[in-house]
Amino acid sequence: MTADAISSNNNCAAMPEVENDLKCPRHITVIIDGNRRYGKNKYGSGTRGHTDGTKTVMNFTEWCIDAGVEALTVFAFSTENWKREKAEIDALMKLVDGFIHDILGEALTRNIRVRVLASDSRKLPAFLVKSIKDVEAKTRYSLAVRLNNSISGICQKPFGLPDPDIMIRTSGELRISNFLLFQIAYAELIFMDKFWPEVTREDLQDIIVEFNRRKRRFGK
């Protein structure tokens, strides 16, 4: 699957559960909200919820590839999250680092370019900065799909990506939290009443169907 193939045939033929004549969004963005609440409800531990959320990012990336999505941007950590307890922040940084190491092999196999959008990388721990540089360097020539992990901040120019077609937020919250404010002007907003670790492949299928139901007029 190459970038050229995606742009020339933007139907969701690669996901057989979705009708082949449906148009596939080029760029999906996700605010992965509710990990901590999910973990506390299920395990009594917010950190374990973040661990499950990381696994869902891996799975969701696979589902987007199967559907023919060209770019996926995940909002993983906001500037406001720096106000949380240090122990939780440290655990989150280690989870992001673990995710980067876990995704690298799959990224090279599936031709995924991985990039991390950070407004101020000076706040990130040295081990995470090193991992980010490594995964970005090793996947820089991959073209089939682009996975972008947004950490801490508002990005006005996220690496020349196409503007998002869909912005998803989980956990039932109805706000966008400063995420890609300049790019989502014409994105279709999808708010899901479930926590991020609970999202399934069927949810993505339903979102694509809903995307095709909507009339995108782009202000005309």
Catalytic-residue membership of 102 = no
Active-site residue, from 9, 41, 81, 178: 81
Catalytic-residue membership of 33 = yes
Q: How far apart are CA 94 and CA 92, in angstroms?
A: 5
Three-state DSSP string of the chain: CCHHHHHHCCECCCCCCCCCCCECCCEEEEECCCHHHHHHHHCCCHHHHHHHHHHHHHHHHHHHHHHCCCEEEEEEECHHHHHCCHHHHHHHHHHHHHHHHHHHHHHHHHCEEEEEEECCHHHCCHHHHHHHHHHHHHCCCCCCEEEEEEECCCCCCCCCCCCCCEEEECCCCCCCCCCCCCCCCCCEEEECCCCHHHCCHHHHHHHHHHHHHCCCCCCC
Active-site residue, from 33, 97, 148, 165: 33
Positions marked active-site: 33, 81
